[in-house]
């Protein structure tokens, strides 16, 4: 039985797959954070806080703790959503929150509030 040889026209496709896999690995290795989308409404942000904090420890958001200030819904939602996102392995689908979140590559930490 004769062996079928890979013809040269298929080579770019194979190289593209290798390049894409390497790119994906590099992107996944980059540190990312999940923050609330600025256009999100208050009810959605509150629901996000409630859901995320039912899954992870949000004690850093309590009065007197590092991430309490600024005492705003969007700030607290961002911290809670990021805690959830980080705890689940930084997968894009863990930062969806019904399209009310964004994955960012710039560290949103401020003052003594450190986003893990």
For all residues of the chain together, what is the average pLDDT? 84
> Are 86 and 105 within 8 A, CB to CB?
no
14: which strand partners? none
88 phi/psi in degrees, rounded to 5: -100, 10
* CA angle 88–77–49, rounded 5-degree value: 70
Does residue 27 register a pLDDT over 60? no
For residue 99, being part of any structural domain is answered with: yes
pLDDT of residue 41: 98
pLDDT band at 20 (very low <50, low <70, confident <90, very high): very low
For residue 9, being part of any structural domain is answered with: no
CB atoms under 10 Å from CB of 40, counted, come to 21
- Higher pLDDT: 116 or 91? It is 91
Helix (H, G, I), strand (E, B) or coil at 52: helix
pLDDT of residue 11: 40
pLDDT band at 116 (very low <50, low <70, confident <90, very high): confident
How far apart (Å, rounded) are the C-alpha atoms in residues 103 and 116? Answer: 14
How far apart (Å, rounded) are the C-alpha atoms in residues 68 and 91? Answer: 26
Q: What's the structural domain count of the chain?
A: 1
Rounded to an integer, the average pLDDT of 31-45 is: 98
pLDDT of residue 7: 46
For residue 109, being part of any structural domain is answered with: yes
- Interval 77-102: pLDDT, tens: 999 999 999 999 999 999 999 999 99
Handedness of CA 46, 48, 51, 54 (dihedral sign): negative
Domain containing residue 68: 32-116
Does residue 53 register a pLDDT over 50? yes
For residue 1, being part of any structural domain is answered with: no
């Amino acid at each position: 039985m004769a062996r079928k040889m890979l013809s040269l026209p298929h080579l770019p496709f194979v190289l593209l797959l290798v390049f894409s896999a390497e790119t994906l690995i590099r992107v996944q290795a980059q540190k990312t954070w999940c923050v609330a989308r600025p256009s999100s409404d208050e009810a959605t942000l509150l629901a996000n806080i409630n859901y995320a904090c039912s899954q992870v420890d949000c004690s850093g958001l309590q009065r007197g703790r590092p991430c309490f200030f600024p005492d705003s819904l969007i700030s607290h939602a961002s911290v809670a959503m990021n805690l959830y996102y980080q705890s689940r392995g930084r997968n894009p689908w863990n930062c969806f929150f019904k399209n009310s979140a964004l994955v960012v590559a710039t560290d949103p930490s401020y003052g003594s509030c450190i986003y893990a």
